[in-house]
Amino acid sequence: MEYHVNGKTIPADEEGYITNLADWDKDVALEIAKSEGIEMDDERWEVVNFLRDYYDEYQIAPAVRVLIKAIKKSMGPEKGNNKYLYELFPYGPAKQACKIAGLPKPTGCV
């Protein structure tokens, strides 16, 4: 599949993960989020930005636990839990948030 953003065509795989990580920008993220039925707000941007920073450093998305810890630090303990992350991204913080962040899908028994 592919996304169309600002006159550009962004290729993606069957599941909607963009193929070239360099194609990503905020407008692409908004378009992916739209196709997922998700409206981006400050909290969701914070998760997406954290994922991208972590990926820059480690070439992979963080463990869910690491993500939760980071969210707890910035948004407070009532939001630093798996349940809240699933409220933000119903198909899972690791997979759905990664998709919007333009990162590859975590594979394996996860």
Partner 1 sequence: MADGDDLPKLDDPLDIPCLKPGAMEGLEPYIAAPEHQAKLGFPGELVPDWKERALAKMAELAEKDRAFQVYLDACVKCGACTDKCHYFLGTGDPKNMPVARQDLLRSVYRRYFTFAGKHFPKLVGARDLTEEVLHEWYSYYHQCSECRRCSVFCPYGIDTAEITMAAREILDSVGMGQKYSNEIIGKVKEIGNNLGLQPKALQATLEDLEEDIEDETGVSVRIPLDEKGADILLVTPSADFFAEPHIDGLIGYAKVFHEAGVSWTLSSYASEAANFGLFIGSYENMREIALRIRKAAQDLGVKRIIFGECGHAWRVAYSFLNTLAGPWDFLDPNYPVPQHILEFTWNEIQKGTLKFDKSKNDHIRLTYHDSCNVARASRMGDKPGGQFEIPRNVIKAVCNHYYDMPDDTIREKTLCCGGGGGLLTDDLMELRKKGASPRMTALQQVTEDHGVTHMAAICAICKTQFSKVMPAFGYEMDSIVSVHQLVSNAIILTGQDTDDEEDDAGGEE
Rounded CA-CA distance 38/32 in Å is 9
Count of residues near partner 1 by CB under 8 A: 24
In angstroms, what is the minimal distance from the CB of 63 to partner 1? 5
Among the residue ranges 20-28, 29-37, 40-48, 52-60, the one whose residues contact partner 1 (CB under 8 A): 52-60
Rounded CA-CA distance 98/96 in Å is 5
Cβ contacts of 18 within 8 Å, gap of 6 or more = 3, 10, 11, 12, 24, 28, 32, 102
In angstroms, what is the minimal distance from the CB of 87 to partner 1? 12
- 109 has catalytic annotation: yes
Give the per-residue contact string, 66-105, with partner 1 (x = CB under 8 A; - = no). Answer: x--x------------xx--x----xx-xx--------x-
Q: Which residues are annotated as catalytic?
A: 109
